[in-house]
Amino acid sequence: MDFKAHIAARVKVGELTQEEIYAMIALPPNTEMGDFALPCFRLAKTMRKAPALIAQEIADSYPEDEIVSKVSALNGYVNFKIDRAFWAKQTLERIFAEREGYGSSDEGKGKTVCIDYSSVNIAKPFHIGHLSTTVLGSALYKLHKFLGYTPVGINHLGDYGTQFGKLISAYKRWGKKEDIEQGGLRALNALYVRFHEEAEKDPSLNDEARAFFKKIEDKDEESVALFNWFKELTLKDVGRIYELLDVHFDSWAGESFYNDKMQPVVDELREKGLLKESEGAQIVDLEEYGMPPCIILRSDGASLYATRDIAAAIYRKNTYDFYKCLYVVAYQQNLHFKQFFKVLELMGKDWAKDLIHVAYGMVSLEDGSMSTRKGKVVYLEDVIQKCVQKAGDIIAEKNPSLENREQIARTVGVGAVIFGALYNNKIKDITFSYDKVLNFEGETSCYVQYTCARANSVLEKGGRGGKYTVCEVLDQEYELVKKLADFPATLHDALEKYEPCFVARYAVDLSQLFNKFYFDCSILNAGDENIRNFRLALTEATLITLTNALKLLGIGVPEKM
């Protein structure tokens, strides 16, 4: 229920419309004062009265109401208290009616949103640097779906470029089929690293690599077959990780998919007079917009990353008629996105405004950075495995008799990695720490999962789905109710700002409020039957909401921990 709308419909002040009043209603800094507040300072000028007096008049004229239990004026604010029992009843009713759908909506009905995320590179390691795009993109995908949009998850594979020539050259020189079959991505990367070492001594290797790349482009059977094999091996390896992280895609159209879709782009750019020659290359001049030129064709006629992205955007618009197209890509590529968005705008695509670069910061491990070329890489899979193993150790110590320990360790360990990457505002650089993400008392997924297990165990003893009536609502219960009621709005905000961290933080906040309630108010030994049932209902509603929140982030909830 929208209490702000309810209040705005009843407040009478000057000439203000209901919408204007609605927009002015805020949350007071502390709930002692009220649940909602209307500041009157801005009104003083037009009404030629002191704010305190205006506030008093509004409070006095507010009609009798079964939802708002108290209206008072204080220091130029009108404070409104909602009837606690009413709010609790409303909230619980909604949660029990909607259950795993609680928080969902149809606000995105009929709107398709393309989300380009993870977008791994073939034959290159899937490393810790890909964590954010993968889990942020996946959370945004789930969030859009939950709010009624039609999301299209796109893995814009990096499957085009001279590096594949290098790889073929390296494979033909030093590779063994069985080793590569077994070693997958890591073996491919080892070849790539070796190529660079050897090419430093013998630069002619680079010519050989270029020749092999040309062969791929010319559809030479052997080279294409090798390239496809590299691709297959890569997808098998990353597929394992996607499965662990509960990440899915609707399209795997990568860079090479656009090979035959760029000529029309080049033609259109030329027709519209946007192409310019510069040192043999074809560019779009962006000086006027304070950016370096966007290079469309190299002097040898080869297309570039940006050319492919322009073709891809046009293809996506034609194919999906998207309402928005999101690119979940690190901020290092800010300029690239600004440039090709601008080029599309200059081409007269009015939908260029619907392209959104969802930029995020870097993830590094506590012990330093990495480089693909020199082979110093932190594989994401290793990070996940280590977290799972550590989670297993912690659980073994905390609860040695727990059944299904391995599976639970996996849910906890994987959750820790995802949550660790999602907990902060996405633009922040983060340092990944195993101890931090697995701290059961911290702002972590295991803290939230542990809270769920606690709620589960209470419900196991007390029963679920019982009849309850709401009488008096204590402070701890009320704070919990309000947080529960806030879930749908949190999801709306998270989507609007492309910030899954709002959901992660919400889950931690709700867990903290539940734990306070759990320690301060006896649930099973409440004495009074009514109170006990109400508290059990609050416990169940919390479990439902926390489960929904974690699920949107791709994190599971074990029954026991």
- Measured from the CB atom, the residue of 355 and 416 that comes closer to ligand ARG is 355
Q: How far apart are CA 80 and CA 11, in angstroms?
A: 11
Interaction between residue 158 and ligand ARG (CB under 6 A): yes
Helix/strand/coil for 483: helix
What is the number of H-type helices and E-type strands within the chain? 21, 12
Q: How far apart are CA 179 and CA 189, in angstroms?
A: 12
Q: Which two three-digit tokens encode residue 129? A: 């640097």
- Measured from the CB atom, the residue of 247 and 470 that comes closer to ligand ARG is 247
Residues 288-317 touching ligand ARG, rule: CB under 6 A, are 309
Interaction between residue 159 and ligand ARG (CB under 6 A): no
Interaction between residue 481 and ligand ARG (CB under 6 A): no
Interaction between residue 380 and ligand ARG (CB under 6 A): no
Q: In the set 79, 119, 134, 545, which binds ligand ARG (CB under 6 A)?
A: 119
User: Minimal distance in Å, beta carbon 344 to ligand ARG?
Assistant: 13
User: Minimal distance in Å, beta carbon 240 to ligand ARG?
Assistant: 19
In 3D space, the residue among 478, 471, 465 whose CA is nearest the CA of residue 544 turns out to be: 465
In 3D space, the residue among 308, 357, 335 whose CA is nearest the CA of residue 114 turns out to be: 357
Candidates 115-123, 163-171, 229-237, 497-505; binding stretch for ligand ARG (CB under 6 A):
115-123
- Measured from the CB atom, the residue of 156 and 482 that comes closer to ligand ARG is 156
Amino acid symbol at 29? P
Cα→Cα distances 126→59, 236, 384, Å: 61, 12, 12
Candidates 114-122, 203-211, 219-227, 539-547; binding stretch for ligand ARG (CB under 6 A):
114-122
Q: In the set 141, 213, 327, 379, which binds ligand ARG (CB under 6 A)?
A: 327
User: Minimal distance in Å, beta carbon 331 to ligand ARG?
Assistant: 12
Which residue in the block uniquely carries the two structure tokens 């502390």? 30
190-229 per-residue burial string, b: 16 or more CB within 10 A, e: under 16 = bbbbebbeebeeeeebbebbeebbebbbeeeeebeebbeb
- Measured from the CB atom, the residue of 163 and 539 that comes closer to ligand ARG is 163
Q: Write out the H or E segment, with its range, that includes residue 142.
A: helix 131-146
- φ/ψ of 374, rounded to 5, equals -85, -5
- Measured from the CB atom, the residue of 188 and 387 that comes closer to ligand ARG is 188
Interaction between residue 156 and ligand ARG (CB under 6 A): yes
Candidates 22-30, 50-58, 113-121, 521-529; binding stretch for ligand ARG (CB under 6 A):
113-121
User: Minimal distance in Å, beta carbon 207 to ligand ARG?
Assistant: 26
Q: Which two three-digit tokens encode residue 348? A: 């007269």
User: Minimal distance in Å, beta carbon 355 to ligand ARG?
Assistant: 10
174-186 per-residue burial string, b: 16 or more CB within 10 A, e: under 16 = ebeeeebeebbbe
- Measured from the CB atom, the residue of 90 and 339 that comes closer to ligand ARG is 339
Q: Are strands 275-278 and 281-284 parallel, antiparallel or unpaired?
A: antiparallel
- Measured from the CB atom, the residue of 116 and 499 that comes closer to ligand ARG is 116
Q: For binding to ligand ARG (CB under 6 A), which residues are involved?
A: 116, 119, 121, 156, 158, 309, 327, 329
